[in-house]
Amino acid sequence: MRILMALLLCLGMLPLHAATEVLTFDNPEQERLYKGLTEELRCTVCQNQNIADSNADLATDLRRKTYKLVREGKSEQEILDYMSQRYGNFVLYNPPKTGGTLLLWIGPFIMLLFGLYLVARIVRRRRAAANPTSDQSADENLERARQLLRDADEDKS
């Protein structure tokens, strides 16, 4: 029974297997390069998919082009440059750190620092308010109480 189930499961996987492309490479390095590149390159018409995962026509075209360039013996950087010269950095899932992308990298940390500063300020102020033992605030409170008493006297008269 268990074997039958396993066979059935295998049967279900058949069409999946048939859908993959059959590609031949000169050496394992080329194959690794191709796999790496298709995972690194974004399918520009999809919602956040790389060209390895997407079945869109454009992704198929870009995969074929990548395959051709890999077979021609182009290096990883050459192929990434080839793509970004045509489709812009949008096609790269790991774009170079330029002015704009640098802001994206360090922006959150700037926000975090600003938030920490705000929290520190609020905490310091609250602590000062809840802790009227310091000489200065005690004097201030005393002065305020006297002022209130004086005002009350003036109101009466």
Place of tokens 């394992």: 28
The two tokens of residue 66 are: 């990548």
Residue placing its CB nearer to other proteins in the complex, 7 or 45:
45
Closest approach of Cβ 23 to other proteins, in Å?
A: 17
| Amino acid residing at 147 | Q
Residue placing its CB nearer to other proteins in the complex, 31 or 56:
56
Closest approach of Cβ 19 to other proteins, in Å?
A: 20
**Which one-letter DSSP state was computed for residue 136?**
H
Residue placing its CB nearer to other proteins in the complex, 86 or 126:
86
Quote the CA–CA distance of 113 and 108 in Å, as a whole number.
Answer: 9
Nearest to 54 by CA among 27, 80, 93: 93
Closest approach of Cβ 88 to other proteins, in Å?
A: 4
Nearest to 89 by CA among 35, 47, 40, 55: 40
Q: Does 93 bind other proteins (CB under 8 A)?
A: no
Q: Which helix (H) or strand (E) holds 26?
A: none
By the 8 A CB rule, do 45 and 58 touch?
yes
Binding mask 72-91 for other proteins (x = CB under 8 A): ------------xxxxx-x-
User: Residue 4's CB: how many other CB atoms inside 10 A?
Assistant: 8
Closest approach of Cβ 63 to other proteins, in Å?
A: 11
Closest approach of Cβ 21 to other proteins, in Å?
A: 16
Binding mask 23-62 for other proteins (x = CB under 8 A): ---------------------xx-----------xx--xx
Footprint on this chain of other proteins (rule: CB under 8 A): 44-45, 57-58, 61-62, 65, 84-88, 90
